[in-house]
Amino acid sequence: RQGLTHIGVRPTFSGTAMRIENYLLDFDENLYDQTLHVAFLKQLRGERHFSGSEALKSQINADIAQARAYFS
């Protein structure tokens, strides 16, 4: 499966704990209690603070488009 991974503290939401979040492209199934192996192929951008959730959502959509272009 192809996807995107965020590694960081979620500064837009005042996070402090390090997290790893994966988003799998075109995948809508339950993966709880499953093992996921991740290979990093390219960094799209660094972590940054956004003005709010809508700005973050817009950037995530741009990241998804960039990932799709990379994988195509």
pLDDT in tens, 9-34: 999 999 999 999 999 999 999 999 99
Retrieve residue 17's tokens: 């704990």
Q: Phi first, then psi: give them for residue 5, nearest 5 degrees.
A: -130, 135
**CA separation for the pair 14, 69 (Å, rounded):** 31
pLDDT score at 20: 93
